[in-house]
Structure 1
Amino acid sequence: MTRTVAPLTKDLVGLAGLFLTSGVTHLAKPDVFEPLVPRSLPRRRELIYVSGVAELACAAGLLHPRTRRPAGWASAALLVAILPGNLQMSANYGKRARRTGTPGAQAAFAATLARLPLQVPLIRTALKAAGR
């Protein structure tokens, strides 16, 4: 049984671009991500580096037809795996917004909350690359 490879569409290129940008940032400025790693997880800096490398690998894999399917599965799994970090980011910004009460802090908190549902279309795009 031969399966067709998902075509390289704009949304897949966009997802690869997001992973590329984020992956480079994880490796170049890991301190930006450290507050987002839940405190219960060990070896937080190493997790940041690993996730950055994983994002770069997913980006590259999504762009090539021979690796698009496994990269799609890996991308979906990675997006699910980083969800706790996104939730932690919202919690951090929520605390800051409550503490300071400034419009900027409240806007940043609102932005982190608005970002959470965006994981759904990103995961959907990754699954499309996987052939689902």
Structure 2
Amino acid sequence: MASRRSPQAGEVAGTSGEVAGTSGEGRVRASALRMAAALTATGTLHLVRPGVFDVVVPRSLGAPRPWVLASGVAELVCAAALAVPRTRRLGGVLTTALLLAVWPGNLAMARAADRSARASRARRVLTAARVPLQLPMVGAAVDVVRGRS
């Protein structure tokens, strides 16, 4: 039988009265919504401040701005798909593909920061840390596809 307790800090009550985070389905939902929030933030940043991301687009792809704007839109599409229960699994598939597609850009950003005399130590550390941290995000997106967390 479903848990009928009140939600605690960081938990959300589902429509069935079950507290998200207490069941596999609730954990998948919570994970999907966290990813949706993160993708909404980064997708918006790509559109509002695209210059920040221009440097990570490989030169071989040509002008960076269309790629940056397209990836921002893609992040917002993934966020929307993850947020809606009916499209959540598709959102997980799209998010997995997107994260794997932009991983080389994140690696390029870390390399560029490491090579730059103007990059602060904090920028170097943050861009380098982002590369391996993306792997758990891919795993979480795959878990949404599989309906588990």
- Structure 2: gaps of 5 or more residues: 1-24
Does residue 135 of structure 2 align to residue 120 of structure 1?
yes
TM-score (norm 2): 0.75
Q: Answer yes or no: is the 8 Å Cα contact 2:32–2:88 preserved in 1.
A: no
- Structure 1: gaps of 5 or more residues: 1-5
CA shift for structure 1 position 31: 1.1
More helix by share: 1
The whole-number CA distance in structure 1 between the counterparts of 2:81 and 2:126 is 29
Matched position secondary structure for 2:71: helix
Question: How many residues are treated as equivalent by the alignment?
Answer: 123
Larger C-alpha radius of gyration, 1 or 2? 2
The two structures, once aligned, show a CA RMSD in angstroms of 1.9
Alignment-mate amino acid for residue 142 of structure 2: L
Selected match of 1:108 from 106, 123, 130: 123
Q: Percent identity?
A: 39
Aligned to 1:26: 46
The whole-number CA distance in structure 2 between the counterparts of 1:71 and 1:43 is 28
The whole-number CA distance in structure 1 between the counterparts of 2:78 and 2:126 is 25
Aligned to 1:62: 82
TM-score (norm 1): 0.84
The whole-number CA distance in structure 2 between the counterparts of 1:30 and 1:121 is 25
**Which 4+ runs in 1 deviate beyond 6 A?**
none
CA shift for structure 1 position 13: 1.5
